[in-house]
Amino acid sequence: MTRWLDDDEQRTWRDFLAATQLVNEALDRQLQREAGMPHTYYMILVALSEAPERSMRMSELAARAQSSQSRLSHAVARLEERGWVRRHRCDSDRRGNYAVLTTEGFAALAAAAPGHVAEVRRSLFDVLTPEQVGHLAEICAALRNTLEQ
């Protein structure tokens, strides 16, 4: 009944898990150490920094930062405590909330970015050949298109 993984698939799957975990751990450690935030918070700040007025509705922010709504809600509460993000009610739809990146939040992001990018290079791009990077791009786009929403 069950189609088990053959040896090649088994090896690929385990390498996939190990590799992606290693990359994510490297990233998280770098950001935690040098910027005092987890990668998920960094992604929220990035998404906000790219939005008009550095401001976005909570639900759109959740989508852009690849976060669940609940996770985002908790995270923004923490970021607000640090003064990096502010929330304010939306007038046209009073259920809604905007999250706004503060000046201090933008500064924290700007301070964190160089170390982060260096880690991204170290743990992903520098490890692979240009051809492999191209393949990876196609693979990830395919996965994303299929699995998203």
Partner DNA sequence: CCATTTTACTTGAACTCTCATATACTTAGC
Partner DNA sequence: GCTAAGTATATGAGAGTTCAAGTAAAATGG
Return the residue of 29, 137, 141, 142 that touches DNA, per CB under 7 A: 29
Structural element, H or E, at residue 56: strand 55-57
CA-wise closest residue to 73 among 40, 50, 46, 102: 40
Q: Report which DSSP code applies to 87.
A: E
Q: Which stretch binds a copy of itself (CB under 8 A): 73-81, 85-93, 98-106, 137-145?
A: 137-145
Choice between 13 and 96, CB closer to a copy of itself:
13
Q: Which of 6, 7, 8, 93 binds DNA (CB under 7 A)?
A: 93
Site for a copy of itself in 7-66 (CB under 8 A): 8-9, 11-13, 15-24, 26, 43, 66
Only one of the segments 7-15, 76-84, 100-108, 116-124 lies at the binding site for DNA (rule: CB under 7 A); that segment is 76-84
Q: Which is nearer to DNA, 118 or 133 (CB)?
A: 118
**Tokens found for residue 45:** 């700040």
Q: Where are the alpha helices (DSSP H) in 4-129?
A: 7-35, 39-49, 58-64, 69-81, 103-123
CA–CA separation, 85 and 46 (whole Å): 12
